[in-house]
Chain A
């Protein structure tokens, strides 16, 4: 299932909120948690990561990954954390409202 436009940033931020993680890990975790429903296109993942970093919501550092080569690990900045909370509240209100309409 493709992502609804505009939700990718939110998913990434939420995933990163659990702890520093590299790009591949983010894609995998979204896939696993969503029970293989949400497939993140690799082609949009990295531009999104770079965009979020430029906005100052994410920071990154190079660390050794579990199995070998160095990987770039992303984690939330303070601004990112605040932004995530606001966006999640926003999303829940939105999703609730959509659900109300659909179930009526």
Chain B
């Protein structure tokens, strides 16, 4: 097949050839020899390539042909300068990709609406009080802070729901709890969220399969039903449509699967871990006698509320109605009416605020850093393109001399920029996906699932547009300069280092490098700070040997064991495990150690007033010896005390010191949280243990160990192994399967993994910031290298003369080094105050170190200086190796 532009090209050749042929013939007729005639014809015709080039511009298919030529030529030029091309593509990809991922995540967590219709109609309901409203609340389930609480009694819910009918639909839900699930013979553990029957209709969520709850489901007479989250249905049940109507065992209670939620509904918050939704009256909180009683006890406040206003109803209309009803549902009115809880409405369209509150600051910090990175990347691209423009001045001049029009030259460079942009675009999508996945994982803390961060392509387009603009504007620079050079008859002047570029223009490049260095200081410093923070926390001494420890949970109490059988079961389990080859010791605890959070109490010495907050754990006699081989004073809890439910306690050494030193042994401590008039639980201190981190590497709270309840329904087993835990785990699993095939092990991890889990956030910061820091370092090294290499290549003549006149290579090296390191140092000097100003914004993310330690500053500056030395050293050495004679000849 012949392309139209190909044909045109051949025809042009032939046409020009014909003209020359006729002209030659004419001269031959005038009596010249053939050779002479040929030469004269050529001279008269002029530069045939110029004519052809002009004709090409006039042609119909010119643009097509031109584009093809531009792309091919552009690709060739890019291959010829692989370092610049790679650096530019990486700058683009990393800058745009990382930005898109972070901003997409920020959008999802901070600004995104719940995936339900009309999210603006939703309100979260809570109340503001003056301290915990003890006068009317005995027990609560929810979150309580300075600004109030989010929990209500079931009676309040019912009254409010009725009272606002017509104005709004009010639904109740509670926090998800861990339940043991068994379906088709497969035991597993999941998160169950009890909700009121109108929960889904209030949110206006649809069922993917089957049906959601109706009012009939939320009655004690109705059979227990369950709605599955889409994720659970896919991951645990293999997306089997046949499960609808089947029965699944939840905490050993049969529940009928009635429906599966639509896929888009991730829950009340991104990363919501809920697997199952059950009607409030059949939820896990109803399993205990206290839970059952709580329904009719308006002193137990255990549900959270969400309202959807009817169309046209404002919060201002709804709130007074609720505020009037709320106090009528209390068991007692407060003595001081001013201290009474006051109901509030908060915007609910974006779902629960927990994730938002927790990650707002970290995400804003990351967003700022990644924005800075984009600026550095842009600066770098500008610099690279400027450097490339210089490298190609000769080529441009040649093309202008051969008749290339300015428009054509512009188009050529535009095409090259577009090629670069396209490669960068592809790279940025790859980087974006990788970063988004990584981020989603990092945000999965203990009560969250990994968040599925989907790249927002609007954001990608926006970040892309900014960068592309820089790319295009500065990509055209060489063409613009090239056409100016043409007017100056550049070719005639010969060598590649004469003819233009007054020093003033290069000031732009130097300024860019200084700015880049300043920004890099911020990013590298942040990377150093967060990495050192993580290392400091990780390498801190938890007070025990963290190697060769395995933890796993078991929940026999919710998997079919009667309470009366549990003590024997736990005893057998301990015996079995202890006899397992490779196991050296076994202990059990009611609270999983190093799991952040847990059980806390305010306590005091009986009869005294000062209270201290301590982390509490119920443990077996074998538990403490797993962590420490000695007691500071007194003794450990005994098996007899455990079985007898003795009121004894072992406290940590620092708590003992706080309460009164060694003589605290034998004294009584009591929990200070009890209600007035009720006797607080009291324990005799029988032992003082060394300080052991009970909850996390990040804190060293006072710790108290009590004998574990012997019939607790679930607990965590901790095993110390003689060999690496992975080698012993199969035997441990086998031992438990041998006792009960249907008992799932919950979250089997080594202690190292458990510790790492608690440091996810620190690791997220350290990893991302290190990534950004390394990137910034690489980008600014490339930028600095570009500027200095350009500078020395422009000064080749001058350097040649210097060397010829007796300058030593060492002088040249130090001259170039001085210049380059001067730029770097100036940038750093500007960056340090910025770091100093920004330090307070990251302070609260740090628990291992202070933000501005001299060592951190020294490390960051050292790294930058070393990088700068490499960037400047290469062109310096290259300049010093110039042969003066060669240089002068080129002149």
User: Interface on A for B, CB 8 Å cutoff?
Assistant: 22-25, 28, 41-44, 46-47, 50-51, 54, 62, 65, 67-72
The one of A22, A43, A47 in contact with B18, judged by C-beta atoms closer than 8 angstroms, is A22
Neighbouring B residues of A51 by C-beta, 8 Å: 58
Contact assessment for B18 and A46 in the assembled complex, using a CB-CB cutoff below 8 Å: no
Contact assessment for A70 and B18 in the assembled complex, using a CB-CB cutoff below 8 Å: yes
A25 to B54, CA, bound (A): 20
Flag whether B447 is at the interface (Cβ < 8 A). no
Q: How many A-B residue pairs have CB under 8 A?
A: 59
Neighbouring B residues of A25 by C-beta, 8 Å: 22
Q: Is the interface of A mostly helix, strand, loop or mixed?
A: helix
Flag whether B466 is at the interface (Cβ < 8 A). no
Closest to A67 in B: B25
Q: Mark B14-28, 1 if CB is under 8 A from A, else 0.
A: 111111011101100
Neighbouring B residues of A50 by C-beta, 8 Å: 55, 58-59
Contact assessment for A24 and B19 in the assembled complex, using a CB-CB cutoff below 8 Å: yes
Neighbouring B residues of A23 by C-beta, 8 Å: 15, 18-19
Distance in Å: Cβ of A30 to nearest Cβ of chain B? 14
A70 to B10, CA, bound (A): 13
Q: Mark B383-394, 1 if CB is under 8 A from A, else 0.
A: 000000000000
Flag whether B46 is at the interface (Cβ < 8 A). yes
**Taking A23-B18, A54-B58 as contacts, is the C-beta distance between A43 and B25 under 8 angstroms?**
no
The listed residue with most A CB atoms (<10 A of its CB), out of B19, B23, B26, B44, is B19
A36 to B462, CA, bound (A): 64
Flag whether B57 is at the interface (Cβ < 8 A). yes
Contact assessment for A42 and B54 in the assembled complex, using a CB-CB cutoff below 8 Å: no
Contact assessment for A24 and B55 in the assembled complex, using a CB-CB cutoff below 8 Å: no
Contact assessment for A46 and B54 in the assembled complex, using a CB-CB cutoff below 8 Å: yes
Neighbouring A residues of B19 by C-beta, 8 Å: 23-24, 42, 46
**Taking A46-B54, A47-B55 as contacts, is the C-beta distance between A72 and B11 under 8 angstroms?**
yes
Closest to A44 in B: B54
Flag whether B548 is at the interface (Cβ < 8 A). no
Neighbouring A residues of B44 by C-beta, 8 Å: 42
A-B contact list, 27 entries, CB within 8 Å: A22-B18, A22-B22, A23-B18, A25-B22, A42-B44, A42-B46, A43-B45, A43-B47, A44-B54, A46-B15, A46-B19, A46-B51, A46-B54, A46-B55, A47-B54, A47-B57, A50-B58, A51-B58, A65-B22, A67-B25, A69-B17, A69-B21, A70-B14, A70-B18, A71-B15, A72-B14, A72-B18
> Interface size of B by Cβ–Cβ distance < 8 Å?
25
Flag whether B60 is at the interface (Cβ < 8 A). yes
Flag whether B201 is at the interface (Cβ < 8 A). no
A71 to B18, CA, bound (A): 6
* Among all A-B residue pairs, the 9 with the closest Cβ atoms: A50-B58, A24-B22, A47-B54, A51-B58, A43-B46, A24-B19, A42-B45, A50-B55, A71-B18
Neighbouring A residues of B55 by C-beta, 8 Å: 46-47, 50
- Other A-B contacts than A47-B54, A72-B15, 7 sampled, CB-CB below 8 A, are A22-B18, A42-B46, A42-B51, A43-B45, A46-B12, A46-B51, A69-B21
Neighbouring A residues of B57 by C-beta, 8 Å: 47
Distance in Å: Cβ of B45 to nearest Cβ of chain A? 5
Flag whether B50 is at the interface (Cβ < 8 A). yes
Neighbouring A residues of B46 by C-beta, 8 Å: 41-43
Neighbouring B residues of A69 by C-beta, 8 Å: 17-18, 21
Contact assessment for B60 and A54 in the assembled complex, using a CB-CB cutoff below 8 Å: yes
Neighbouring A residues of B22 by C-beta, 8 Å: 22, 24-25, 65
The one of B11, B23, B58, B60 in contact with A47, judged by C-beta atoms closer than 8 angstroms, is B58
Neighbouring A residues of B45 by C-beta, 8 Å: 42-43
Contact assessment for B50 and A43 in the assembled complex, using a CB-CB cutoff below 8 Å: yes
Distance in Å: Cβ of B19 to nearest Cβ of chain A? 5
Closest to A68 in B: B21
> Which residues between 39 and 65 of chain B lie within 8 Å of chain A, taking CB atoms?
44-47, 50-51, 54-55, 57-60
A65 to B45, CA, bound (A): 20
Distance in Å: Cβ of B636 to nearest Cβ of chain A? 99
**Taking A43-B51, A46-B15, A69-B18 as contacts, is the C-beta distance between A24 and B23 under 8 angstroms?**
yes
Neighbouring A residues of B51 by C-beta, 8 Å: 42-43, 46-47
Closest to B53 in A: A47
A46 to B51, CA, bound (A): 7
Neighbouring A residues of B12 by C-beta, 8 Å: 46
A51 to B60, CA, bound (A): 9
Neighbouring B residues of A72 by C-beta, 8 Å: 11, 14-15, 18
Contact assessment for A43 and B23 in the assembled complex, using a CB-CB cutoff below 8 Å: no
Neighbouring B residues of A24 by C-beta, 8 Å: 18-19, 22-23
A67 to B59, CA, bound (A): 28
Neighbouring B residues of A67 by C-beta, 8 Å: 25
Neighbouring A residues of B60 by C-beta, 8 Å: 54
Distance in Å: Cβ of A26 to nearest Cβ of chain B? 10
Closest to A24 in B: B22
Neighbouring A residues of B16 by C-beta, 8 Å: 46
Neighbouring B residues of A47 by C-beta, 8 Å: 51, 54-55, 57-58
A77 to B340, CA, bound (A): 96
A24 to B22, CA, bound (A): 7
Closest to A39 in B: B44
Neighbouring B residues of A42 by C-beta, 8 Å: 19, 44-46, 51
Q: Mark B291-332, 1 if CB is under 8 A from A, else 0.
A: 000000000000000000000000000000000000000000
A22 to B14, CA, bound (A): 12
Neighbouring B residues of A44 by C-beta, 8 Å: 54
A36 to B60, CA, bound (A): 33
Neighbouring A residues of B54 by C-beta, 8 Å: 43-44, 46-47
Neighbouring B residues of A71 by C-beta, 8 Å: 15, 18
Distance in Å: Cβ of B586 to nearest Cβ of chain A? 91
> Which residues between 492 and 538 of chain B lie within 8 Å of chain A, taking CB atoms?
none
A52 to B47, CA, bound (A): 22
A69 to B19, CA, bound (A): 11
Distance in Å: Cβ of A47 to nearest Cβ of chain B? 4
Distance in Å: Cβ of A75 to nearest Cβ of chain B? 15
Contact assessment for A54 and B23 in the assembled complex, using a CB-CB cutoff below 8 Å: no
A51 to B51, CA, bound (A): 13
A47 to B48, CA, bound (A): 12
Distance in Å: Cβ of B736 to nearest Cβ of chain A? 85
A69 to B23, CA, bound (A): 13
Neighbouring A residues of B58 by C-beta, 8 Å: 47, 50-51, 54
A97 to B861, CA, bound (A): 79
Neighbouring B residues of A68 by C-beta, 8 Å: 21
A55 to B57, CA, bound (A): 13
A79 to B3, CA, bound (A): 27
Neighbouring A residues of B25 by C-beta, 8 Å: 67
Contact assessment for B18 and A65 in the assembled complex, using a CB-CB cutoff below 8 Å: yes
Distance in Å: Cβ of A72 to nearest Cβ of chain B? 5
A22 to B25, CA, bound (A): 15
Closest to B61 in A: A54
Distance in Å: Cβ of B729 to nearest Cβ of chain A? 79
